[in-house]
């Protein structure tokens, strides 16, 4: 099963047109797909290009988040996926004739049917086909596709794919609205729980589901919604909030696995200085699986192409003490099969000085010991660093700013298994000392019932509700 086989037809065609590659992916992971230019920027250590691309993606998606800020879950509208006649939830930015950003919640009914029959997927390992609910974003101008999957247990099946998508669309929409409204002090798990409760009442009152059925799956819905809200979409929600609503120090710590041969694990809670996960979330052990080299095109035509999918984990840390205090964090990543092989990565955003970063291959001790080891920080003023694991897997990292970000969000990208190019060692111009806020988003796109959304192939689909 390829990544783009499981997304709505509209999203698949748009992604392929934008130069985003398709591939086979594990069933329970976060993954991101980029254009070759963005991947090469990671290889070159071109933090200026990466920062501009990040701003492009954020500018694409900000009107979508603005729609949720104004309209809650009503920012989603219902359309029908042509190939399987299944409804799903979609939100867009830009004109209906040529949207430049998409957000969707989709459930593939064929996966539910296959799971009921106990059929096996033809993918690697001949594993049982997993039915999932999917939350995705696509930026056309930024050529970035991000998808989070959460596996559906059997008790969900009787709802059907369309109702599952509707339910999680409402949960996600309400959670985004409340996250923006309630601010940084609100616990994310509490926001999700409240959204699940409100969704259950709303669907039961509408006669879509029974109260008894929802009560039986509500706790699962909370867990699954937290899983769905752990990737690219939430990263850009944080940027929206920081640029448009309010600000505080944040470190976005992205770890991307491009290594085709190894899975990696983070089995010890990251540690550092004054660090707290955004939304008061609890840390959980994380596996970052290997990507695949298989590229599957539509209509069953399979070709071999270079890798453009990476599996990833993303942590967003804020400063626990807000007054005259910054934030720093270190993460220790291990090879899942041999924990003696791995590396450490760390980032510090102090209150009255420029930021610092570190990247060290090999055994580095506990996260706190590694963070406190002064010898493993890169030289002052470094925007990038490289290293390798004991078994020779290349490592690299970049940051978008060392100071002056008016949104006070600093992104630290760590790449595993992506060989730095010769340009990585070359000095590059420093980013501007002050990184300005992004512009206010455009007026959200809110199609009405019956409006036509133009599809990439020239056909149109009407908004159902």
CATH number, domain at 318? Answer: 2.60.270.20
Whether residue 282 sits in one domain with residue 251: yes
Give the tens place of pLDDT for each residue, 81-93: 888 888 989 999 8
| Cα-only R_g, the chain | 21
Whether residue 372 sits in one domain with residue 278: yes
Q: Which of 32-36, 240-244, 254-258 has the highest mean pLDDT?
A: 254-258
pTM score, two decimals? 0.79
Length of the chain equals: 465
Whether residue 276 sits in one domain with residue 221: no
Residue 1 covered by a domain? no
Give the tens place of pLDDT for each residue, 41-71: 989 999 888 888 888 988 998 899 889 899 9
Whether residue 273 sits in one domain with residue 169: no
Q: Which of 264-278, 314-328, 384-398 has the highest mean pLDDT?
A: 384-398
Give the chain's mean pLDDT. 79
Whether residue 258 sits in one domain with residue 183: no
Average pLDDT over every residue of 431-453: 69
Residue 242 covered by a domain? no
Q: Which residues pair with 255 in a beta bridge?
A: 313, 414
Q: Compute how many other C-beta atoms are within 10 angstroms of the C-beta atom of residue 206.
A: 9
**88-97, 247-256, 290-299: the lowest-pLDDT one:** 290-299
Q: Are 151 and 127 in contact (CB under 8 A)?
A: no
Residue 39 covered by a domain? yes
Q: Which domain holds residue 105?
A: 9-235+441-462
Residue 176 covered by a domain? yes
Among 447, 459, 444, 411, CA closest to 55 = 411
Task: Say what the pLDDT of residue 25 is.
Answer: 43
Task: Say what the pLDDT of residue 430 is.
Answer: 72
Assess whether pLDDT exceeds 60 at residue 429: yes
Residue 387 covered by a domain? yes
Distance CA 233, CA 103 (A): 8
Task: Say what the pLDDT of residue 298 is.
Answer: 23
Q: For 242, which DSSP code?
A: I
Whether residue 296 sits in one domain with residue 183: no
User: For the purposes of burial, counting CB atoms within 10 Å of the CB of 248, is it exposed (0-12), middle (13-18) or buried (19 or more)?
Assistant: middle
% the chain with pLDDT above 90: 26
Task: Say what the pLDDT of residue 379 is.
Answer: 94
Residue 317 covered by a domain? yes
Task: Say what the pLDDT of residue 20 is.
Answer: 62
Assess whether pLDDT exceeds 50 at residue 137: yes
H helices present in 315-398, as ranges: 367-372
Whether residue 213 sits in one domain with residue 130: yes
Handedness of CA 28, 30, 34, 36 (dihedral sign): negative
Handedness of CA 89, 92, 97, 100 (dihedral sign): negative
Task: Say what the pLDDT of residue 272 is.
Answer: 81
**127-141, 184-198, 260-274, 328-342: the lowest-pLDDT one:** 127-141
Among 202, 195, 113, CA closest to 158 = 113
Q: Which residues contact 348 (CB under 8 A, 6 or more apart)?
A: 272, 273, 326, 327, 328, 355, 356, 357, 377
Give the tens place of pLDDT for each residue, 245-254: 555 678 889 9
Say which residue the tokens 């992971």 belong to. Answer: 29
Distance CA 183, CA 246 (A): 8
Give the tens place of pLDDT for each residue, 5-55: 566 676 666 666 666 655 444 445 576 777 788 888 989 999 888 888 888
Question: How many domains, in total, are found in the chain?
Answer: 2
Average pLDDT over every residue of 401-429: 86
Whether residue 287 sits in one domain with residue 163: no
Whether residue 171 sits in one domain with residue 34: yes
Distance CA 61, CA 144 (A): 11
Task: Say what the pLDDT of residue 332 is.
Answer: 95
Residue 433 covered by a domain? no
Whether residue 145 sits in one domain with residue 25: yes
Q: Are 290 and 364 in contact (CB under 8 A)?
A: no
% the chain with pLDDT above 70: 75
Residue 205 covered by a domain? yes
Whether residue 457 sits in one domain with residue 418: no
Whether residue 295 sits in one domain with residue 146: no
**110-124, 259-273, 364-378, 391-405: the lowest-pLDDT one:** 110-124
């Amino acid at each position: 099963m390829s990544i783009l086989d499981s997304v709505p037809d509209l999203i698949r065609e748009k992604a392929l047109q934008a130069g985003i590659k398709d591939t086979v992916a594990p069933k329970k992971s976060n993954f991101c797909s980029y254009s070759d230019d963005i991947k090469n920027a990671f290889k070159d250590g071109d933090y200026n290009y990466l920062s501009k691309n990040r701003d492009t993606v954020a500018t694409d998606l900000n009107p979508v988040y603005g729609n949720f800020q104004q309209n809650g879950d009503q920012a989603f509208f219902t359309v029908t996926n042509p190939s399987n006649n299944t409804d799903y939830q979609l939100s867009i930015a830009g004109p209906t004739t040529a949207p430049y950003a998409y957000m969707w919640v989709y459930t593939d009914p064929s996966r539910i049917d296959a799971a009921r029959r106990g059929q096996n997927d033809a993918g690697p390992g001949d594993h049982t086909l997993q039915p999932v609910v999917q939350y995705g974003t696509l930026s056309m101008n930024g050529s970035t596709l991000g998808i989070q999957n959460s596996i559906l247990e059997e008790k969900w099946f009787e709802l059907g794919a369309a109702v599952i998508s509707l339910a999680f669309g409402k949960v996600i929409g309400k959670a985004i609205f409340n996250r923006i409204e309630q601010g940084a002090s609100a616990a994310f798990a509490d926001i999700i729980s409240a959204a699940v409760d409100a969704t259950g009442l709303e669907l039961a009152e509408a006669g879509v589901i029974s109260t008894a059925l929802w009560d039986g799956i509500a706790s699962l819905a909370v867990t699954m919604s937290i899983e769905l809200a752990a990737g690219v979409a939430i990263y850009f929600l944080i940027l929206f909030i920081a640029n448009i609503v309010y600000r505080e120090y944040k470190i976005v710590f992205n770890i991307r696995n491009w290594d085709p041969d190894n899975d990696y694990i983070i089995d010890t809670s990251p540690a550092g200085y004054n660090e707290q996960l955004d939304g008061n979330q609890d840390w959980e052990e994380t596996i970052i699986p290997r990507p695949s080299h298989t590229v599957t095109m539509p209509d069953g035509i399979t070709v071999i192409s270079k890798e453009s999918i990476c599996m990833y984990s993303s942590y967003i840390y804020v400063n626990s003490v807000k007054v005259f205090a910054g934030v720093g964090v270190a993460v220790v990543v291990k090879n899942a099969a041999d924990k003696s092989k791995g590396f450490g990565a760390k980032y510090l955003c102090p209150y009255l000085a420029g930021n610092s970063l570190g990247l060290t291959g090999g055994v580095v001790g506990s996260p706190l010991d590694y963070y406190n080891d002064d010898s493993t920080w890169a030289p002052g003023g470094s925007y990038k660093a490289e290293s390798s694991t004991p078994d020779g897997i290349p490592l690299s990292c970049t940051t978008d700013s060392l100071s002056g970000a008016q949104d006070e969000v600093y992104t630290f990208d760590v790449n595993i298994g992506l060989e730095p190019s010769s340009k990585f060692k070359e000095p590059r111009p420093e980013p501007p000392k002050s990184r300005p806020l992004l512009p206010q988003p455009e007026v959200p796109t809110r199609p009405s019932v019956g409006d036509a959304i133009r599809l990439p192939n020239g056909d149109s689909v009407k908004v159902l509700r």
